[in-house]
Chains A and B, each alone.
Chain A
Amino acid sequence: MVAPANQPLLQVSNLRIEFPTRRGTLVAVDDISFHIDPGEVLGVVGESGAGKSLTGAAIIGLLEPPGRIAGGQILFDGQRIDNLPYESMRRIRGKQIGAVFQDPLTSLNPLYSIGRQLIETITTHLPLSDSEARKRAIDLLAEVGIPSAERRIDQYPHQFSGGMRQRVVIALALCANPRLIVADEPTTALDVSIQAQIIALLKKLCREHGTAVMLVTHDMGVIAETADRVAVMYAGRIAEIGPARQVIKHALHPYTEGLMGSIPTVGADAERLVQIEGAMPRLTEIPAGCAYNPRCPKVFDRCRIERPEPVAVGPTGVACWLYAKEGPRG
């Protein structure tokens, strides 16, 4: 495992997110643990419904009811934040932990100028006067690459394109110099040609500000380009977590291997991309043992009975019986 130099910025331990429903409780995120070091970019990948966005929402304290944290804890800078009252968590949100959402077209309030939204966020968290906040807002807009920020600050969201709006959203996330940004699929809703720009911008800004990022995405290409480490989620659990280079080049978990096989490579002469057979199970019908076992090409008896816990293989943690060193516990 990578030993953090000091204490990690974010430590998630045994997090469990449940949805009570009429038919019983659904476990959407099941006992996951990971950490993010200061200034580090952690990519979180997985299919839709794997629990990655919920994990992000839990960290910023905005899980939508009836979803709730049913177990585990989240430490931010050594302080427990998963059980804070709304008002204390509000002070952390935006100031310490910023967020970037998926759809820039709907993230901004259409009735207020972007300047007003920026200034309001700045003055909420920082002891600045309105004119100081306005100056800071203009600087931020320039920094996220909005040309003639001085003029455009008084314009309204509908006067910006999708890519430009996502830049504004990033400026809003950076308003109070947070130490962590939770970016939930920040490029999914954008044009392919814009995606790379936004990712490059996010990466550059966070390096300059020393901001750590939890980058939720289902795009392995984005991860390869941006992340220091990567966590692969499947059906509410972490299948594999480790340094991005390692996970991408030498995937251990059969699911990660499958994901990597589905990335198209330029120049490769393959006729068809490899695809993983079947679909991720619904939350109501997660199989016993390893949740991946019905789709796994390397499945064996033990996978159908016992659930694998993460084990360390070199710098990587992987939850797969292929890498179990000793026999089943208990």
Chain B
Amino acid sequence: MLAFIVRRLLQSIAVLLAVGFIAFSMFQFAGDPVNNMVGQDANAETRALLRERLGLDQPFPIQFVRFIGNMLQGEFGVSYRLGMKVEQILVQRVPATLELVLIAALLALSVGVPLGVYTGLHRHGALSRVMLTVSLIGISLPTFLIGILLILVFAVWLGWLPSFGRGKVVALGWWTTGLTSWDGFRALILPAVTLSLFQMTLILRLVRSEMLEVLRTDYIKFARARGLTSRSINFGHALKNTMVPVITITGLQIGALIAFAIITETVFQWPGMGLLFLQAIQFVDIPVMSTYLVLVSLMFVIINLTVDLLYYAVDPRLRIERSAVGAH
């Protein structure tokens, strides 16, 4: 088990290095940051000086190695646009995004799984058909459109919820949260719903089809023949057997949520990492862009590791690979 985790961590480091390399090399084509930083009338000498100060005059491999070396020492560089240390900017932004993603994921799971079970069990019911049809809308409408529609209905027409920003946030150490105040919570509702809708319908449909599959298996028939209660069969035996694919997809989707958050954050002017990243691209703010990408890939790696560990928790067949498979 420990060997497995160590092996995965080593693989993760390789993945992170690769992502960093690709990201860094792409930024060579993003434009010249110096143009954005100096005024129109700066002369060539000023530009060259600035270029040298930022290390941009060095060849690409040296820039990359320096970037990695600095990162290992906890130095993420200084934003070209804001003139602040990147880690300080990120510390302000990360809580907003993670909070949004976490709430969206919880929402998607807590609505998607029960509805998936329901539609799987009552496959021909009228309510199931309605839910499946509605879920088609959720799966086919683009995120930004859903966001704009929600703003139109709940912020503009009804005026119930704010259309942008995080509302009032409370600082808990370096972490800022909007969950503890009513104002912050209200601001979170629309973006979280927008972000979760696609994942919710995806999970609903996944759980439903897995349930249909599992309910046909012999062990469910045998569980019925043993006279177990429907509740124990549906939730104890069937649902647990659908969990491995659901965990896989949910893990991948949490990664996707962080990525999709860029769109949602833009629509709702949510002060998170996604919005920061978009602004950084416009300004060719290389330190911010590369740190963002490495951070996101780090989150992916952590999520994937968690997913692998969850497999072990759910499926005993994976657990026992080493201990001798019993007699016979």
**A positions within 8 Å CB-CB of B:** 60, 62, 86, 90-95, 98-99, 101, 103, 106-113, 120-121, 124-125, 147, 152, 155-156, 158-161, 163-164, 169, 172-173, 175-176
Flag if B227 contacts A125 (CB, 8 Å).
Answer: yes
Residue of B with least CB distance to A178: B227
Inside 8 A of A110's CB, which chain B residues have their CB?
219, 241, 315-317
Residue of A with least CB distance to B217: A106
Q: Known contacts A62-B221, A106-B218; is A111 also within 8 Å of B227 by CB?
A: no
Given A103-B218, A124-B227, 9 more contacts at CB 8 Å?
A60-B225, A94-B227, A94-B228, A107-B222, A109-B219, A109-B237, A124-B228, A124-B232, A156-B316
* A163 in complex: contacting residue of B217, B314, B320, B328, CB < 8 Å: B328
Within 8 A of A (CB), among B200-237: 217-219, 221-230, 232, 236-237
| Total inter-chain residue pairs, C-beta < 8 Å | 91
Nearest chain A CB to B42's CB is how many angstroms away? Answer: 67
Flag if A101 contacts B226 (CB, 8 Å).
Answer: no
**B positions within 8 Å CB-CB of A:** 217-219, 221-230, 232, 236-237, 240-241, 314-317, 320, 325-328
* B226 in complex: contacting residue of A113, A124, A147, A156, CB < 8 Å: A124
Inside 8 A of A95's CB, which chain B residues have their CB?
227
Flag if B225 contacts A99 (CB, 8 Å).
Answer: yes
* B218 in complex: contacting residue of A94, A101, A111, A147, CB < 8 Å: A101
Flag if B222 contacts A111 (CB, 8 Å).
Answer: no
14 A-B pairs with C-beta separation under 8 A: A90-B228, A93-B225, A94-B225, A103-B218, A106-B218, A110-B316, A111-B316, A113-B316, A121-B227, A124-B226, A124-B228, A159-B320, A164-B328, A172-B222
Nearest chain B CB to A125's CB is how many angstroms away? Answer: 6
Residue of A with least CB distance to B316: A156
* B240 in complex: contacting residue of A62, A99, A111, CB < 8 Å: A111
Nearest chain A CB to B121's CB is how many angstroms away? Answer: 13
Q: How far is it, in angstroms, between the C-alpha of A209 and the C-alpha of B126 when the chains are bound?
A: 48
Inside 8 A of B226's CB, which chain A residues have their CB?
93-94, 98-99, 121, 124, 172-173, 175
Flag if A62 contacts B217 (CB, 8 Å).
Answer: no
Flag if A156 contacts B219 (CB, 8 Å).
Answer: no
Inside 8 A of B236's CB, which chain A residues have their CB?
120
Inside 8 A of B222's CB, which chain A residues have their CB?
99, 101, 107-108, 169, 172
Q: How far is it, in angstroms, between the C-alpha of A93 and the C-alpha of B230 when the chains are bound?
A: 13
Inside 8 A of B232's CB, which chain A residues have their CB?
120, 124
Closest 8 CB pairs of A and B: A94-B227, A99-B225, A161-B328, A93-B227, A106-B218, A159-B326, A94-B226, A156-B316
Q: Known contacts A107-B219, A111-B241; is A91 also within 8 Å of B320 by CB?
A: no
Q: How far is it, in angstroms, between the C-alpha of A111 and the C-alpha of B230 when the chains are bound?
A: 18
Flag if A156 contacts B317 (CB, 8 Å).
Answer: yes
Residue of B with least CB distance to A172: B226
Inside 8 A of B237's CB, which chain A residues have their CB?
109, 112
Nearest chain A CB to B122's CB is how many angstroms away? Answer: 14
Nearest chain B CB to A106's CB is how many angstroms away? Answer: 4
Nearest chain A CB to B118's CB is how many angstroms away? Answer: 18
Nearest chain A CB to B49's CB is how many angstroms away? Answer: 66
Q: Known contacts A62-B224, A124-B226; is A107 also within 8 Å of B218 by CB?
A: yes
Inside 8 A of A156's CB, which chain B residues have their CB?
316-317, 320
Nearest chain B CB to A74's CB is how many angstroms away? Answer: 16
Nearest chain A CB to B103's CB is how many angstroms away? Answer: 30
Residue of B with least CB distance to A184: B225
Flag if B328 contacts A90 (CB, 8 Å).
Answer: no
Inside 8 A of B224's CB, which chain A residues have their CB?
62, 90, 93
Nearest chain A CB to B249's CB is how many angstroms away? Answer: 18
Flag if A90 contacts B225 (CB, 8 Å).
Answer: no
Flag if A106 contacts B219 (CB, 8 Å).
Answer: yes
Flag if B223 contacts A109 (CB, 8 Å).
Answer: yes
* A90 in complex: contacting residue of B218, B227, B320, B325, CB < 8 Å: B227
Flag if A109 contacts B227 (CB, 8 Å).
Answer: no
Inside 8 A of B227's CB, which chain A residues have their CB?
90-95, 121, 124-125, 176
Inside 8 A of A169's CB, which chain B residues have their CB?
222
Nearest chain A CB to B48's CB is how many angstroms away? Answer: 66
Flag if A111 contacts B315 (CB, 8 Å).
Answer: yes
Inside 8 A of A109's CB, which chain B residues have their CB?
219, 223, 237, 241
Flag if B317 contacts A120 (CB, 8 Å).
Answer: no
Inside 8 A of A94's CB, which chain B residues have their CB?
225-228
Flag if A108 contacts B326 (CB, 8 Å).
Answer: no
Q: How far is it, in angstroms, between the C-alpha of A99 and the C-alpha of B229 when the chains are bound?
A: 16
Nearest chain A CB to B235's CB is how many angstroms away? Answer: 13
Flag if B326 contacts A155 (CB, 8 Å).
Answer: yes
Q: How far is it, in angstroms, between the C-alpha of A176 and the C-alpha of B218 when the chains are bound?
A: 21
Flag if A90 contacts B229 (CB, 8 Å).
Answer: yes
Residue of B with least CB distance to A147: B327
Residue of B with least CB distance to A95: B227
Nearest chain B CB to A121's CB is how many angstroms away? Answer: 5
Q: How far is it, in angstroms, between the C-alpha of A101 and the C-alpha of B217 when the chains are bound?
A: 12
Inside 8 A of A175's CB, which chain B residues have their CB?
226
Inside 8 A of B229's CB, which chain A residues have their CB?
90, 124
Residue of B with least CB distance to A106: B218
Nearest chain B CB to A151's CB is how many angstroms away? Answer: 9
Nearest chain A CB to B213's CB is how many angstroms away? Answer: 13
Q: How far is it, in angstroms, between the C-alpha of A159 and the C-alpha of B228 when the chains are bound?
A: 24
Flag if B228 contacts A120 (CB, 8 Å).
Answer: yes
Flag if A159 contacts B219 (CB, 8 Å).
Answer: no
Q: How far is it, in angstroms, between the C-alpha of A94 and the C-alpha of B320 when the chains are bound?
A: 31
Residue of B with least CB distance to A91: B227
Inside 8 A of A124's CB, which chain B residues have their CB?
226-229, 232
